[in-house]
Amino acid sequence: MINKNMIKKGTNRSKIRELFEYGKILKAKAGEDSVFDFTLGNPSSKTPDIIKETLTSLLNENGVHLYTSAQGDESARNAICNTIKNRYGFKYNKNLIYITCGAASGLAITLKALISKKSDCVLTFKPYFPEYAVFSENAGAKFKAVNCNKNDFSIDFSDLKRKLTKNVQVVIINTPNNPSGAVYSEKDVIKLSKILNEKQQEFGHPIYLLTDEPYREIVFDGINIPFIPKYYDNTIVCYSYSKSLSISGERIGYIAVSEKCENYQDVYSACLGAGRCMGYVCAPSLFQKLIAKCSDELCDMSVYKDNRDILVENLTKFGFTCPSPKGAFYLFMKCPIDDANEFSDVAKELGLLLVPSNTFGLEGYVRIATCVEKRVVLNSLPAFEKLAKTYNLKG
Ligand code: PLP
């Protein structure tokens, strides 16, 4: 008998993909320039020249297309440890780094490694990346999300205390956040660590904090983003090069387990075991070799700030409520009506493809991905103005 749950997962696309596919059809019908697709988080910053040059030269080396060890090429794991040490002053052991196919597989693997009972629970913070629910359920856990403060999408700590029960084995944090662009402050990270420490004492078992880091380097206005393993010992990092090097289709990232983590060797071995069970033989070999040489590189993120500034300024002028996010490449705009689906449908009629926020566990907003060409942002402004007029908004 074919697994009905998997049929459902494979048939019902996420709302993001559904809108993206609709955009492709609309573009073919109405022309590229009349569709403003703000759906997908596909980086628009150019892949750095050094990445292309290094890949070209790697192609002449022997063995770059062959299997590596399951945990990844040693020189790449070494380079990852050095980059983290230089950037954040935090020491990792290369034997506790597991190179993965992006953050998505890192998350799915780590959850599979840490969940062992049906009653186990994974907790995250609203609004959240919808695949967290899919990966948690696949690992056999229940999934719950903590409310946020609506003014800045920071953590609602009283709701956290309510929902942080004995069954919670893993908490997932994502800062800068997709979809809100919020960056959790150092004060809040300290507060979160204190609560987690108190609760693991009380419950008598570790609570692992999984930090999902595809947007780590995309921060604006000179703010500093706390490196979470420095604040909470039981942190496991799932990092991705998708956005930092604009190579999202190449599938490369890593899991980093620190020696400060409780049962770190077992946690790491369980991740390798979960990866093995899920058929991840090794991450793409060519890109592991690339990371060995280029783990310190970053792409130019200025286009994301430019797009953010143009949109926030104009959307506010048109009468929308749209806070300026401190990181990632998304805006989270308040809908002028309660029903985000209905608002997204009305926007769609004007060629604006905006993702309704119930996809991210929160009602009443739309996500606008700003990782598009500046030309698309500028050309979309008259459509946004029309949308505002539809609801009689005034700036
Ligand atoms: N986590 C978040 C919050 C994301 O936004 C994404 C991708 O957009 C991922 C994980 C998956 O990233 P990757 O391409 O590294 O698998």
Q: What is the pLDDT of residues 88-143, one digit of tens each?
A: 999 999 999 999 999 999 999 999 999 999 999 999 999 999 999 999 999 999 99
Q: Report whether residue 211 contacts ligand 1, using a CB cutoff of 6 Å.
A: no
pLDDT tens string 306-338:
999 999 999 999 999 999 999 999 999 999 999
Domain ranges of the chain: 4-47+300-390, 69-294
Take residue 368 and report the two structure tokens written for it.
């606008």
Residue 267 CB neighbours (<10 A): 21
Confidence check: pLDDT of 155 > 90:
yes
pLDDT tens string 226-260:
999 999 999 999 999 999 999 999 999 999 999 99
Q: Residue 67, exposed/middle/buried by CB under 10 A (0-12, 13-18, 19+)?
A: exposed
Q: What share of the chain is helix, strand, coil (3-state, %, to 5)?
A: 45, 15, 40
Q: Report whether residue 212 contacts ligand 1, using a CB cutoff of 6 Å.
A: yes
Give backbone dihedrals phi and psi of 32, rounded to 5 degrees, phi first: -50, -40
Distance of alpha carbon 141 from alpha carbon 119, whole angstroms: 7
Quote the ligand 1 centre to 106 CA distance (angstroms): 10
pLDDT tens string 159-210:
999 999 999 999 999 999 999 999 999 999 999 999 999 999 999 999 999 9
Take residue 70 and report the two structure tokens written for it.
């399951």
Quote the ligand 1 centre to 131 CA distance (angstroms): 9
Quote the ligand 1 centre to 1 CA distance (angstroms): 32
- pLDDT confidence of residue 105: 98
Q: Which atom of ligand 1 is nearest to the CA of 328?
A: 5
Please answer whether residues 330 and 367 qualify as being in contact, where contact means their C-beta atoms are separated by less than 8 angstroms.
yes
CATH class of 4-47+300-390: alpha beta
Give the pTM: 0.96
- Biggest distance spanned by C-alpha atoms of the chain: 64
- pLDDT confidence of residue 310: 98
Q: Residue 78, exposed/middle/buried by CB under 10 A (0-12, 13-18, 19+)?
A: middle
Q: Residue 239, exposed/middle/buried by CB under 10 A (0-12, 13-18, 19+)?
A: buried
Q: Report whether residue 124 contacts ligand 1, using a CB cutoff of 6 Å.
A: no
Distance of alpha carbon 192 from alpha carbon 209, whole angstroms: 10
Percent over 90 (pLDDT), the chain? 92
Distance of alpha carbon 86 from alpha carbon 161, whole angstroms: 35
Query: Strands of 365-369's sheet, edge to edge?
Result: 330-334, 365-369, 355-356
Quote the ligand 1 centre to 218 CA distance (angstroms): 13
| Mutational test site, ligand 1, from 124, 178, 278, max ligand atoms within 8 Å of CB | 178
Q: Match domain 69-294 to its CATH number in 3.40.640.10, 1.20.1440.130, 3.40.50.720, 3.40.50.920.
A: 3.40.640.10
Half-sphere exposure of 58 (CA within 13 A, CB side): 20
Q: Which atom of ligand 1 is nearest to the CA of 106?
A: 16
Confidence check: pLDDT of 395 > 80:
no
Q: Report whether residue 283 contacts ligand 1, using a CB cutoff of 6 Å.
A: no
- pLDDT confidence of residue 21: 87
Q: Report whether residue 102 contacts ligand 1, using a CB cutoff of 6 Å.
A: yes
Quote the ligand 1 centre to 135 CA distance (angstroms): 12
Distance of alpha carbon 110 from alpha carbon 338, whole angstroms: 36
Please answer whether residues 107 and 238 qualify as being in contact, where contact means their C-beta atoms are separated by less than 8 angstroms.
yes
List CB contacts of 144: < 8 A, sequence separation 6 or more: 121, 122, 123, 124, 163, 168
Q: Which residue has the tokens 């507060």?
A: 191
| Mutational test site, ligand 1, from 38, 39, 131, max ligand atoms within 8 Å of CB | 131
| Mutational test site, ligand 1, from 212, 251, 355, max ligand atoms within 8 Å of CB | 212
Q: Report whether residue 178 contacts ligand 1, using a CB cutoff of 6 Å.
A: yes
Q: Report whether residue 213 contacts ligand 1, using a CB cutoff of 6 Å.
A: no
Q: Report whether residue 174 contacts ligand 1, using a CB cutoff of 6 Å.
A: yes
Percent over 70 (pLDDT), the chain? 100
Distance of alpha carbon 348 from alpha carbon 64, whole angstroms: 45
